[in-house]
Amino acid sequence: MCPFPVPALSETEPAVAVSVVVPVYNEEQSLELLQGEIVESLEGAGVDRIPSFEVVYVDDRSSDDSYAVLTRMRQADPRVRVVRLARNYGQSPAMAAGFEVSRGAIVVTLDGDLQNDPRDIPALIERLEAGSDLVVGWRKDRQDGFLLRRLPSILANKLIAQVTGAHVHDTGCTLKAFRRELVTNLPIYAEQHRFLPVLAQASGARLDEIVVHHRPRIYGQSKYGISRAIRVLLDLLSVKMVSSFSRSPLQYFGLLSLPFMALALIFAVRLGLQVGQVSFASNWGQATLLIYMLTIMAGAFFLMLGLLAELVVKVSGLHSDRVFAPLERHGRPNGSVR
């Protein structure tokens, strides 16, 4: 669930084959050009491939005239839908809002600055139809500055792959295609839009990636800087903890209990060796006995938490297994959007 109210869908609103979700922040000059390219790309794919689509623009409370441009676009084309957030939340919450209001069996995300090429969308959808649950774009020939954009991205991608085991070349590329079942069950927040492949893989999704075009920025300026690296590192720790914890929580809590159990053993041995020599009425004896009891209780506490977490994970795991299994049980591994 996204952390703010978004327009609710009417039950009478029809579903569509493809939803294109575009987070927008101060992109007034790019929006109409982008909409024209999206329409040309999806209509050019043919009605048999993509019979219907919508474009969901999420205005992250732009300070320029982006919202006015989006309003005009909505009036000109009913396939355009506009969500305006109450304040500037950032790209991940904007994307979550777009996911929540989208109606497509397939959801495609891309940036609003014209650097992602909408002509790549049919190729991403084709990979989904071949059996993937998430297809990630790879900006192999990225058109950004090396020192402040490309180098930090290369290092971040290598670190993410090393820590999480999700070997994706370009986790930061916004151009991605998702099955509906996946976006419904992947809550995102903070800066975690770049970790969607990691979270998807942890939930059992089938990942794929293709090389996509990346174009130089012609309007506006980038909203991201080197300062974002700290937030990405913190989110990486959070995602690693969540993805690994969900598989074996007892191991984590067991490791936390080991220092306390070791201390308890040391004090137990010490007390055993000094039986009859230490008076538990003395300050030293009382302190030793108190520490021994506290360490035993702390170790047992973490072990019990681990056992409870294992139970919770098993129960929730039974539910999450239903997300992808129906696609195969009903004989639809290709996930056609028709």
Look at residue 5 and tell me whether its pLDDT is greater than 90.
no
Q: Residue 3 — pLDDT band, cuts 50, 70, 90?
A: very low
Look at residue 296 and tell me whether its pLDDT is greater than 90.
no
Q: Of residues 1 and 291, which shows the higher confidence score?
A: 291
pTM (whole model) above 0.85 = no
Per the prediction, the chain carries an average pLDDT of 79
Q: Identify the pLDDT of residue 334.
A: 37
- Alpha-carbon dihedral 110, 112, 115, 117, rounded to 10 degrees: 50
Q: Identify the pLDDT of residue 331.
A: 35
Q: What is the pLDDT of residues 49-87, one digit of tens each?
A: 788 999 999 999 999 999 999 999 999 999 999 999 999
Q: Identify the pLDDT of residue 335.
A: 38
Q: Residue 183 — pLDDT band, cuts 50, 70, 90?
A: confident
| Percent share of the chain, pLDDT over 90 | 36
Q: Identify the pLDDT of residue 55.
A: 97
Q: Identify the pLDDT of residue 179.
A: 93
Q: Distance between CA atoms of 98 and 70, rounded to whole angstroms?
A: 14
Highest averaged pLDDT of the listed ranges 106-115, 263-272, 289-298: 106-115
Helices (H), the chain: 31-44, 66-76, 91-101, 121-129, 151-164, 180-184, 196-202, 228-245, 249-273, 283-320, 325-329
Angle of helix 66-76 versus helix 31-44 axis, rounded to 10: 40
Q: Identify the pLDDT of residue 325.
A: 39
The residue-averaged pLDDT of 139-151 equals 75
Q: Identify the pLDDT of residue 336.
A: 36
State in words which class domain 16-245 has: alpha beta
Q: Distance between CA atoms of 336 and 328, rounded to whole angstroms?
A: 13
Q: Residue 249 — pLDDT band, cuts 50, 70, 90?
A: confident
Q: Residue 328 — pLDDT band, cuts 50, 70, 90?
A: very low
The residue-averaged pLDDT of 145-171 equals 73
Q: What is the pLDDT of residues 195-217, one digit of tens each?
A: 788 778 777 789 899 999 999 98
Q: Distance between CA atoms of 63 and 68, rounded to whole angstroms?
A: 11
Q: What is the pLDDT of residues 29-39, one digit of tens each?
A: 999 999 999 99
Look at residue 329 and tell me whether its pLDDT is greater than 70.
no
Look at residue 337 and tell me whether its pLDDT is greater than 60.
no
